[in-house]
Structure 1
């Protein structure tokens, strides 16, 4: 239908309109010629003569008469196609305008915390002693403004729909990241140092790879302890496992903040639990190059899901008992 009634063309440029005019005309002329050739005609300029002419040529005149309603029908349909095209064009312009405004508000939403945190760190640097100034630059994991549009595309797609419905892929990958973290901590229930080293190395790369994939900037690593894993040396940023696990989920926070721009967004129970993860309850486990000096067994999954129950009191009691 759109090919027959192209709204970009004028009415007379349409092939179907040309056919609606030419075909009846051809039939009319052909029948008229047949009548003329097979009928003994003579001129008679009177009322009877004209009546006889119309009576003989009523079929050719009938075909000619079809031209008017056919062209009118084509014109009507062409106008409706033009109106539809105008409506679609207007809708596309509105959607483009809405998308631009939606993206603009999304950028404001995502960068607000970044600039506030940046200003806070700059003020802290100015007021800190020179020896501590470098430590003040450790901003929390954040999304730099230049990467906000990439996050927008991951959440809403390259071409968002009219209702700007958030895709579930990002939340699903965050859930997968949390689940992978919990799986890697299973070895901390035992005392096998090699399994601990493997898990610590895997935790480091899980967090780092996830942050790079979603353009989340992590705080600078002030120190590095290299842990050997499968022949590779993994740089670990801290010498205390508990302090690293306390912040293992902070990489998802800026992404959750970005998704919260959608008023219909609901956090999964896994993400909600990760954001509310209680810090400071993981036992101290000292790490040195290629060795874990101090191993205190713990069930990180239980800590993750039950941050306030009596389980922690049991852990604290065991720790106190070990140090007495």
Structure 2
């Protein structure tokens, strides 16, 4: 008997999501008034020596009996409001759990939808550089997943936000830092041969954006670090075209992530110079 009682009392601890009838608090809410009623009734029964009275069903007898057992009856009646309060609390807890579960499922679903939208946007990323001659540049990435992590480094299935959270170094800020180094001097499109661009800085930029190949006007260039010098760097026009295409990619990523990183670029048609404005933010410390 005691084992059954102990098992019945432990039911809610063995269940992560117990029913109302399995809650210890609910059991206590009706057991405590009932036990108290029984104890007081027995004490009163013996104190008043009620066994010496004859059974009587007249109204006066019933009223007298109520007066004698009034306190135990009131104690027993407490079980109704107490169980009602426990039921209301249990209902609110269940509702809160349901809301949390729904939000968790929505976060999980939105996370993967966001990744899918990102992949669809950038898996065949192409830009038209409307400079002094049209250059169509198409990027092939070594890993869209890594590019996503670079832009949204703090996104997880259980903790997702569609906007950029740049609390620490990320791939996007790394790319901006590389661009800042490259554009320390404006790029001259009228006198391309005069530009002095370091291939190492360019390669670091490509790597920070996980770019594997670039197709410029139908011609493919391998941009992986192992093929650092396979590009014809003696053709400055190709080099500059790739840099400007990366700039447009970074601007696109910046807008996609709704980040607060201030930046803009300008190309002067009169002087033929391209400059990038980071509005005073120093990304060089991030490298």
Tell me, yes or no, whether TM beats 0.5: yes
1:208 paired to 2:203: yes
Deviations 1:275-302 (A, max 9, x none): x598x97xxxxxxxxxxxxxxxxxxxxx
User: Which residues in structure 2 correspond to 1:197-276 (within 5 Å)?
Assistant: 203-218=198-213, 219-220=221-222, 235=229, 237-238=231-232, 240=234, 242-243=236-237, 244=239, 247-262=242-257, 264=258, 268-270=262-264, 272-273=265-266, 276=267
Matches of 1:252 and 1:44 in 2, distance apart? Answer: 103
Structure 1 residues 209 and 34: alpha-carbon distance in aligned structure 2, compared to 1, 3 A threshold: farther
Structure 1 residues 44 and 66: alpha-carbon distance in aligned structure 2, compared to 1, 3 A threshold: same
1:142 paired to 2:142: no
User: Which residues in structure 2 correspond to 1:9-88 (within 5 Å)?
Assistant: 9-41=18-50, 42-46=52-56, 47=58, 48-88=60-100
**Post-superposition shift, 1:235?**
5.0
Q: If each structure's helix is expressed as a fraction of its own residues, which one has the higher value?
A: 1
- Give the secondary-structure state (helix, strand or coil) at the position aligned to 1:172: helix
Matches of 2:77 and 2:140 in 1, distance apart? Answer: 71
Matches of 1:269 and 1:254 in 2, distance apart? Answer: 13
1:159 paired to 2:156: yes
Structure 1 residues 63 and 103: alpha-carbon distance in aligned structure 2, compared to 1, 3 A threshold: same
Given that residues 24 and 66 in structure 1 are in contact (C-alpha distance below 8 angstroms), is that contact kept between their aligned partners in structure 2?
yes
Structure 1 length as normaliser, TM-score? 0.55
Matches of 2:162 and 2:233 in 1, distance apart? Answer: 45
- Give the secondary-structure state (helix, strand or coil) at the position aligned to 2:143: helix
Given that residues 21 and 71 in structure 1 are in contact (C-alpha distance below 8 angstroms), is that contact kept between their aligned partners in structure 2?
yes
Matches of 1:237 and 1:66 in 2, distance apart? Answer: 86
Matches of 2:100 and 2:249 in 1, distance apart? Answer: 37
**Post-superposition shift, 1:56?**
1.9
Matches of 1:258 and 1:7 in 2, distance apart? Answer: 44
**Post-superposition shift, 1:252?**
4.4
Structure 2 gaps of 5+ residues are: 1-11, 129-135, 187-195, 214-220, 277-287
Given that residues 277 and 304 in structure 1 are in contact (C-alpha distance below 8 angstroms), is that contact kept between their aligned partners in structure 2?
yes
Q: Which residue of 2 aligns with 1:300?
A: none
User: Which residues in structure 2 correspond to 1:155-194 (within 5 Å)?
Assistant: 155-156=151-152, 157-159=154-156, 164-168=162-166, 169-182=170-183
Say what the alpha-carbon RMSD is for the aligned residues.
4.2
Matches of 1:246 and 1:143 in 2, distance apart? Answer: 15
- Give the secondary-structure state (helix, strand or coil) at the position aligned to 1:164: coil
User: Which residues in structure 2 correspond to 1:87-126 (within 5 Å)?
Assistant: 87-113=99-125
Structure 2 length as normaliser, TM-score? 0.61
Matches of 2:109 and 2:175 in 1, distance apart? Answer: 31
Given that residues 109 and 261 in structure 1 are in contact (C-alpha distance below 8 angstroms), is that contact kept between their aligned partners in structure 2?
no
Structure 1 residues 32 and 207: alpha-carbon distance in aligned structure 2, compared to 1, 3 A threshold: farther
Q: If each structure's strand is expressed as a fraction of its own residues, which one has the higher value?
A: 2
- Give the secondary-structure state (helix, strand or coil) at the position aligned to 1:159: coil
- Give the secondary-structure state (helix, strand or coil) at the position aligned to 1:32: helix
Deviations 1:176-197 (A, max 9, x none): 22223346x79xxxxxxxxxxx
**Post-superposition shift, 1:11?**
0.5
Deviations 1:147-169 (A, max 9, x none): 22332233333327666222345
Matches of 2:203 and 2:101 in 1, distance apart? Answer: 45
